[in-house]
Amino acid sequence: MDTSIKKKRVRGRLSREMIEDAAFNVIETEGLSGFSMRKLAAALGCEAMSIYHHFPSVAHLHEALVDRLVGSLEMPDAGLPWRQRMRIAIEDFRRIGRDHPAYATFLVTYRMNSPICLAWLNGILSLFRDGGFDTELSARLFRAVGYYLMGAVLDENAGYAKGPSAVNTVGDEQLARDFPNVMAAGRFFGAAEFDKTFELGLDMLLDEMERLRDGAGAGQLSGKV
């Protein structure tokens, strides 16, 4: 079949969902830095202009991708205990980061100000309010949890999961001799240990939030901020 005819047919059936699906695939294959509209068009078998018909710019496409991921997140059942609801919300965001490792670095640094993202942010802040926190403490705890969550997503997808970054690496023999503490801890740094480490940190955060809520340090916090 003539290539031009094929591309015209592709354009005729091209949809936003198809473009988004292909964009995620190209990003995971090529990496975020290797992504381009030209590569996306090649993956779809169409001209780049066909994509621009649906998304006027790369920024519009990224907004749609973020909206799609964030829009898939649901607020936990209000009938569940508050701590369980908060855990579910945090772990759900971590999950979409792990499901899209190459895109995770963009996702966690993207300023979420589209209607879909704002609706999710509003729901999360409401979740803090449901936990008994006032506006200021809800905002500060939201940011604190975000620091932990975003750091975990970045590290798990673009940090230790990728292996050593240094050119001059150290062998096991030298590691054991000169850096014994690193050698001993090393087995807990691997991807197989990510979940257990994340859960430990999350429990610490939730414990402290409940301590503040129950008044065992609220006065101290208000004096610091």
DSSP 142-187: HHHHHHHHHHHHHHHHHSGGG----SS---HHHHHHH-HHHHHHGG
Q: What is the pLDDT confidence band of residue 6, given thresholds at 50, 70 and 90?
A: very low
User: Do 35 and 137 share a domain, yes or no?
Assistant: no
pTM for this prediction: 0.84
User: Do 146 and 126 share a domain, yes or no?
Assistant: yes
146-181: pLDDT as tens digits: 999 999 999 999 876 666 777 888 889 999 999 999
Give the per-residue pLDDT at 163. Answer: 67
User: Do 105 and 144 share a domain, yes or no?
Assistant: yes
Distances 29 to 11, 32, 36 between C-alpha atoms, Å = 23, 9, 12
Per the structure, the count of domains in the chain is 2
Q: What is the pLDDT confidence band of residue 136, given thresholds at 50, 70 and 90?
A: very high
Give the per-residue pLDDT at 197. Answer: 97
What element of type H or E holds 104?
Answer: helix 101-109
Q: Is residue 145 part of a domain?
A: yes
Question: Is the pLDDT higher at 9 or at 161?
Answer: 161
220 pLDDT above the threshold of 90 = no
User: Do 146 and 86 share a domain, yes or no?
Assistant: yes
CATH number for position 126? 1.10.357.10
Q: Helix 58-71 crosses helix 16-30 at what angle (to 10 degrees)? A: 90
SS3 (DSSP) at 209: helix
User: Do 150 and 200 share a domain, yes or no?
Assistant: yes
Q: What is the pLDDT confidence band of residue 3, given thresholds at 50, 70 and 90?
A: very low
Residues 6 or more apart whose Cβ sits within 8 Å of residue 67: 114, 116, 117
Q: How far apart are CA 145 and CA 202, in angstroms?
A: 9
Q: How far apart are CA 97 and CA 149, in angstroms?
A: 10
Q: How far apart are CA 43 and CA 29, in angstroms?
A: 11
Q: Is residue 62 part of a domain?
A: no
Q: What is the pLDDT confidence band of residue 194, given thresholds at 50, 70 and 90?
A: very high
Give the per-residue pLDDT at 63. Answer: 97
Question: 122-151 b/e with 16+ CB inside 10 Å = b?
Answer: eebbebbeebebeeebbeebeeebeeebbe
For the chain, helix (H) and strand (E) counts, in that order, are 13, 0
Q: What is the rounded average pLDDT of the residues 2-30?
A: 77
Question: Is the pLDDT higher at 44 or at 158?
Answer: 44
> Is there a contact between 87 and 206 (Cβ–Cβ < 8 Å)?
yes
User: Do 207 and 172 share a domain, yes or no?
Assistant: yes
The total number of residues shown for the chain amounts to: 225
1 pLDDT above the threshold of 50 = no
Q: What percent of the chain has pLDDT over 70?
A: 88
76-128: pLDDT as tens digits: 999 999 999 999 999 999 999 999 999 999 999 999 999 999 999 999 999 99
> Is there a contact between 115 and 70 (Cβ–Cβ < 8 Å)?
no
Domain span holding position 132: 67-224
User: Do 20 and 89 share a domain, yes or no?
Assistant: no
User: Do 193 and 142 share a domain, yes or no?
Assistant: yes
User: Do 71 and 108 share a domain, yes or no?
Assistant: yes
